[in-house]
Structure 1
Amino acid sequence: MFSQVHYSPTFAAVFLATSLLSCSSEQTQNQAATEVPALPVVQVKQSSVTTYQEFAATLEGRVNVDIRPQVEGYLEKIYVDEGASVRKGQPLFRIDTRTYREQVGNADATLLSAKANLEKAALEVTRLTPLVENNVVSDVQLKAAQSAYAAAKANVEQAKSMLGNANVNLDRTLIKAPVSGFIGRLPYKAGSLVGRSEVQPLTTVSDVQEIYAYFSMSEVDFLRFTQQASGGSMADKIRKLPAVDLILADGKAYAQKGHVEMVSGQFDKTMGAISFRAVFPNSLGLLRSGITGRVRIPEHHSSVVLVPQEATFERQDRVFVFALADSNKVVSKPLQIVGKSGNYYLISKGIQPGDRIVHDGLDRLRDGDVIAPKPMATDSSHVAETL
């Protein structure tokens, strides 16, 4: 016999409520699974943008001349101070002149003696000449007198040379500026013994009417430059470069623009880089040798696609976007990036102007997912122009 089970009204009510709650939860989960996410979408645009490449640079004057003594002696006078502006030919140092004045005096005396001997030899030749012609004395005496005259004449020339050399050394005791510029450090003080053998110069004069900014490009940057710069030869490419800026250590741009003038003939193997030189006018002397900065080279990109960086994601060292396809399905597309301007990537391949891409919520998407696009306005007119 089967036993009959009797359910109380209370149990039946609880069972019914539980069943309804379970069905409601299952229905909510199914609805959530089929709900399409609403995500912001932007339409990529094409624009013309100027970007910049910056390279660390060291500044030097157009001419940097080490001032070294050409004679030895005690430093008697220093006419300038460190950092002073000097003109070409302006006195800088005076070396004790006493020794060199004595040398000039001795050389002058030697010259006077040589001239006296020359006159004596000339008189002897004059005296013997008619005697030889009249056969009074042998011509051997005349020839000896003529030889003595020639020797005396040579001694005069030698004495003149010695006097000239002594005067040159005396003049060298006053050291003048070979170029206009600014005085560097003064390591020697008055009373110091200086000479040609000293390793350290008396000072350095820097001509900074124009300033040279030396910077280097890596092999990658150099290849990129040769491929993208207009012009046939390297000289032509450099000549067609636009004016460049100099960013100083405080982050501010120097008031006057410069131009790239030279490129080194070969790569530095130890650094893996090649050197360039930019020239900047410096008539006011605001720039000095030895300071540092950054040379900023502009590059104009015409008709490039701009993509906000926040609308991209990386996968295996490549940058992708989720583009909107038919039926609002998303498809990941790799991008070929040619530069960066502010918060935007500059794209050459991967997407086209007018394509729509997902701006936010990329971490929740997979290829083939369907979304409900929410149009999002973008403004690429304020693209920052820094590479």
Structure 2
Amino acid sequence: MNLKRCLKTIAGFGMLLGIISCQSKATTPQQVQAPEVSVTQVKAGEGEVKNTYAASIEGTMNIEVRPQTSGYLSKIYVDEGAYVRAGQPLFQIDERPFVEQFKTAKAAVAVAEANLRNVKIDLDRKVELVDNKIVSDLQVTQATASFEAAKASLEQAKAAMNAAKINVDFCLIKAPVSGYIGRIPYRLGSLVSAASVEPLTLLTDINQVYAYFSMSEGDFANFQDMQASGKSAPVSLVLANDKAYEHAGTIDAITGQFDKNTGSISIRAKFVNPDKKLRAGNTGRIEMVQHLDHVVMVPIRSTIAVQDKIYVFKLDKENKAQQTEIEVVGKTLDDYYVHAGVQEGETIIVGGLGFVKPGMAVSPKK
């Protein structure tokens, strides 16, 4: 019995070894085939890029209306937001003290004129007497000096009278230009002066408006290239409600240097405003279309986004996938416009990206 049992055990062990041997042969690692991926060649073409910049809107004239003399506001002729024309009265400062000063100065002019007449009479009499040798030449010289002094006194009195008249005129504050009245922080009876911190109001001419925005150094270089080639297009304005403003604008001013802190340059665009839809203080977005000639185009489906960077897989001569970062300058619904990272004619993977790792050999198919 023991012998038979031993033989069965040996036979069973042999079968087990055979099974293990077969399984080992079946699981022997074989050559792993390269995954099949779809590829395409990078092409170049023409395109357009729409750049957007935050903008603030101001009137072509934003004038602080300030008093040129001190006094109490006695009248306010306009209301906030009203449209006024150049020369229209806006505010009245109590003019009574200045009117009295003007009257005093006017009386001083009358006194100076009377004094001048008296001195002139005395001078003329002495000139006649000196011819008859009744008075000396010295007396005539003294009378002439008195006459010149009286003339100067009259001119001084007239200047004081004119200054007093100007102060009276300053009491009525008129609109320097046509435009819209801003906020009026003062009320009747407020004491105002030229040294007041706040102006009486802000008068804005919005028949045309300026949109101020900043452009990066790279965008500005492209903008200059467009201008040099004659392909610069009018700028568009998008309002705060995301609706496009119906009138196109033009670039009419560029600052002379870049801001060292932000690396950007300030630009001003002008827009007509016939319907007065735009007001000073509005915000919006400037949109500028940039035409691109012979730009590299990469299908968006061939890219992988990692945080704020975009990558593609290029194939080298051995059909190995090389992960490469690309620099995007714009896009359409299907393609990225690429500034750097790939070149025209290079082969990139467009399908099967989920199975591809950097350095992996692949089997390309078009």
**Normalising by the residue count of structure 2, what TM-score does the alignment of the two structures yield?**
0.81
In 1: Cα distance, 2:296 partner to 2:263 partner? 33
Shift of 1:268: 3.0
Contact 1:318 / 1:334 at 8 angstroms: preserved in 2? no
- What is aligned with 2:83? 85
- What is aligned with 1:352? 344
In 2: Cα distance, 1:318 partner to 1:72 partner? 63
Shift of 1:161: 1.0
SS class of match (2:225): coil
- What is aligned with 2:275? 284
Shift of 1:123: 1.6
Contact 1:241 / 1:260 at 8 angstroms: preserved in 2? no
Shift of 1:84: 1.5
Q: How does 1:232-271 map to 2 (within 5 A)?
A: 241-271=232-262
- What is aligned with 1:226? 221
SS class of match (1:53): strand
Q: 2:354 aligns with which of 362, 372, 380?
A: 362
Q: How does 1:183-332 map to 2 (within 5 A)?
A: 183-217=181-215, 221-226=216-221, 229-230=224-225, 241-313=232-304, 319-322=310-313, 331-332=321-322
Q: 2:324 aligns with which of 329, 334, 345?
A: 334
Structure 1 runs not aligned, ≥5 long: 376-387
Pick closer, same or farther for the CA change 1:257–1:96 going to 2, 3 Å.
same
Shift of 1:346: 1.1
In 2: Cα distance, 1:339 partner to 1:279 partner? 26
- What is aligned with 2:143? 145
Contact 1:121 / 1:149 at 8 angstroms: preserved in 2? yes
1:54 aligns with 2:44: no
Contact 2:302 / 2:348 at 8 angstroms: preserved in 1? no
- What is aligned with 1:126? 124
Shift of 1:68: 0.8
In 2: Cα distance, 1:371 partner to 1:281 partner? 60
Shift of 1:193: 0.9
Shift of 1:367: 4.8
Which deviations, in whole Å up to 9, do the C-alpha atoms of 1:284-338 show, x marking residues without a partner? 32212222222222211123333232321368987443457899x5644636434
> Match of 1:194, as an amino acid?
V
- What is aligned with 1:378? none
In 2: Cα distance, 1:229 partner to 1:137 partner? 87
Of stretches 267-276 and 167-176 in structure 1, the one that deviates more from structure 2 is 267-276
SS class of match (1:230): helix
In 2: Cα distance, 1:257 partner to 1:73 partner? 46
- What is aligned with 1:112? 110
Shift of 1:77: 0.9
In 1: Cα distance, 2:129 partner to 2:119 partner? 16
In 2: Cα distance, 1:120 partner to 1:292 partner? 70
Contact 1:125 / 1:146 at 8 angstroms: preserved in 2? yes
Contact 1:323 / 1:358 at 8 angstroms: preserved in 2? no
Shift of 1:360: 4.4
SS class of match (1:198): coil
Pick closer, same or farther for the CA change 1:34–1:359 going to 2, 3 Å.
same
| Number of matched pairs | 354
Structure 2 runs not aligned, ≥5 long: none
- What is aligned with 2:101? 103
Aligned-residue CA RMSD (Å): 3.7
Pick closer, same or farther for the CA change 1:179–1:125 going to 2, 3 Å.
same
In 2: Cα distance, 1:35 partner to 1:363 partner? 13
In 1: Cα distance, 2:93 partner to 2:223 partner? 57
In 2: Cα distance, 1:342 partner to 1:280 partner? 28
